[in-house]
Structure 1
Amino acid sequence: MSKRVLITGAAGFLGSHLCDRFIKEGFDVVGIDNLITGDLANIEHLFKLEQFDFYNHDVTKFVHVPGKLDYILHFASPASPIDYLKIPIQTLKVGSLGTHNLLGLAKEKNARILIASTSEVYGDPLVHPQTEDYYGNVNTIGPRGVYDEAKRFQESITMAYHRFHGLQTRIVRIFNTYGPRMRLNDGRVIPAFIGQALRGEDLTVFGDGSQTRSFCYVDDQVEGIYRLLMSDYALPVNIGNPDEITIGDFAEEIIKLTGTNQKVVYKDLPVDDPMQRKPDISKAKEILNWEATTSRQEGMKKTYDYFKGLSQEQLYKSEHKDFSKHIVK
């Protein structure tokens, strides 16, 4: 009998790629998404498959899945600044109430659960590169705190379930990831730059461009997540590509990639925007025998080609998301 996995946030960027991977591995996949930030277009190719079921559901409400579950992957959460700044309360709720509900479901089903955390738990780090034993430098009451603290709480309650109930838990700290199915203009660097390039606009760099990021292609990220789920390691593990670049230099790479003559324009740096972001992946190498293998040049070409191939209607849909009906005041 096939193993069965539940993936929350299934219609999102990473969630949809994880659905693909587990289908490929022979699993029966149950996807859940309330479609606040996700898009059914990301998983519509799976609807014809007998191995795939989908529920439009908000995991901050009680979650019931009939039948056995072997694994749960909790990826339901806004993940970009534009998203979580527009729906801050929902962001906090999915990290707290949603995680609590899914941990309870994992306990009921005797399933192993992997929680998607983030490099944002490190805040604006004072340690570089960031190791898993660094506790972070986070502003709990700043605008980004709704996401950062949701993820930090998520890790805490996950470890509490592991220690108190003996639940099999895994925690992945995801560093900047990119690839096909991202939503343009969601506030993250790569989709913002690609969206501007496709529209022939100048590229916007916040700050002086000296801040750094390390970008991991989605296929590498999914491989790391899969290996972590199948491992015996319960503490957090960084999964990301340590190939670091300044945002200013990256903007020039985008202009070269797109073959356009845009300029780079500079604007004020947002509050609490991290100045450095680079994972120490020693633990992933040692425990999972994992490291990223896709170069930034190769991954960016695949990503740009994907967006170039979308129709104007698809591009518009990727750039615009209506949050008005989801905002809790």
Structure 2
Amino acid sequence: MSTHRGYSKRVLVTGGAGFLGSHLCERLIEQGCEVLCVDNYFTGARSNLLKLHNHPRFELVRHDVTFPLYVEVDEIYNLACPASPVHYQHDPVQTTKTSVIGAINMLGLAKRVGAPILQASTSEIYGDPTIHPQPEEYWGNVNTIGPRSCYDEGKRCAETLFFDYNRQHKLKIKVIRIFNTYGPRMHPNDGRVVSNFIVQALKGEPITVFGEGNQTRSFCYVDDLVDGMVKFMATAPDVTGPINLGNPGEFTILELAEQVIRLTGSSSKIVHKPLPKDDPKQRQPDIAKAKALLDWEPTIPLEEGLRRTIAYFADSLK
């Protein structure tokens, strides 16, 4: 893969030491790109990138995207932002700044160097949806002043900025809305349901289900999601999105807990706790656009993905 300048395409990945970012960096290196990974290590870790540390086409820089970045690149994937409630609620003001000021800085960089830029947005922009499943045309049902608002509204504002840069400056943008994604390198203490359940089951601790466990989620394995991101970046410049990326297979939280117990062979028992404020009752992507425009849909079933993720956590908890 080479550009008109006769060398490997140089790709910037912000938040590249995180769960999703590290998998994306590996995929881009496999495709022959030069990768510049920037991360401030708030939730990311250098250990997520061990496979790439000595690779000649990989560069890792400690940087916070709320400050400008002056580099020369051919493409940008903007993934920088804590994505789990435990982390984004720890410093909600910084979370909003990362989404909004980070987007402004990366869009400014993309405009200066003429690079297409992909924004990792989120299904959280739909809030607690009143439409099911959620198509991209749905505007959402979001609380602007709740404990999750720093993330939800920050990402919504970032989408606004991306489309305004596209309209005002003719910038080549891509916006994806990521639904629940899981896999190796998830942070063990990020409060997300898959990592929570697996870690609790492996330790033989009670498995915490909020409410009755009837709320539903759709779980996409990380390899499938990275496939979608890379395919989207390679589509025609006029395909801007937003496009939902996620697995439309819908499971209740209780079903997930029972499956994790079965796959780990754990003796853990399920305990119920009150539902957190503004926790969505249903979350399922409508991926018709991704199928039509990207020829993409997930291929890894939940049980297979859970087996791989359990194996990772079993090894990392040793």
TM-score interval (norm. to shorter): over 0.9
Q: 2:125 aligns with which of 101, 121, 125?
A: 121
Which residue identity does 2:31 align to in structure 1?
E
Which residue identity does 2:159 align to in structure 1?
E
Q: State the match for 1:7 in structure 2.
A: 13
Check 1:250–1:311 CA distance in 2 against 1; reply closer, same or farther (3 A cut). closer
Which residue identity does 1:72 align to in structure 2?
I
Q: State the match for 1:56 in structure 2.
A: 62
1:294 and 2:300 are equivalent in the alignment: yes
Q: State the match for 1:96 in structure 2.
A: 100
After superposition, residues 101-116 of structure 1 pair within 5 angstroms as 101-116=105-120
The CA deviation at 1:72 is 0.2
- The Cα offsets for residues 222-274 of structure 1, whole Å up to 9 and x where unpaired, read as 00011111112112000000000000111111111111121110000000000
1:184 and 2:188 are equivalent in the alignment: yes
After superposition, residues 127-276 of structure 1 pair within 5 angstroms as 127-232=131-236, 233-276=239-282
The CA deviation at 1:44 is 2.5
Query: Is the contact made by 2:206 and 2:269 (CA closer than 8 Å) also made in structure 1?
Result: yes
Distance in 2 between residues matched to 1:115 and 1:297, nearest whole Å: 29
- The Cα offsets for residues 1-51 of structure 1, whole Å up to 9 and x where unpaired, read as 111100000100000000000000000000000001101000122121110
Q: State the match for 1:318 in structure 2.
A: none
The RMSD of aligned alpha carbons is 0.7
Which residue identity does 1:184 align to in structure 2?
P
Query: Secondary structure of the equivalent of 2:121?
Result: strand
Query: Secondary structure of the equivalent of 1:55?
Result: strand
Query: Secondary structure of the equivalent of 1:309?
Result: helix
TM-score (norm 1): 0.93
Q: 1:22 aligns with which of 25, 28, 31?
A: 28
The CA deviation at 1:187 is 1.1
1:45 and 2:14 are equivalent in the alignment: no
TM-score (norm 2): 0.96
Distance in 2 between residues matched to 1:289 and 1:228, nearest whole Å: 10
1:285 and 2:291 are equivalent in the alignment: yes
Distance in 1 between residues matched to 2:254 and 2:132, nearest whole Å: 19
Distance in 2 between residues matched to 1:32 and 1:44, nearest whole Å: 15
The CA deviation at 1:311 is 4.9
Q: 1:307 aligns with which of 308, 313, 317?
A: 313
Name which of structure 1's ranges 226-235 and 167-176 shifts more when overlaid on structure 2: 226-235
Q: Which segments of 5 or more consecutive residues in structure 2 lack a partner in the other structure?
A: 1-6
Query: Is the contact made by 2:36 and 2:58 (CA closer than 8 Å) also made in structure 1?
Result: yes
Distance in 2 between residues matched to 1:35 and 1:64, nearest whole Å: 19
The CA deviation at 1:164 is 0.4
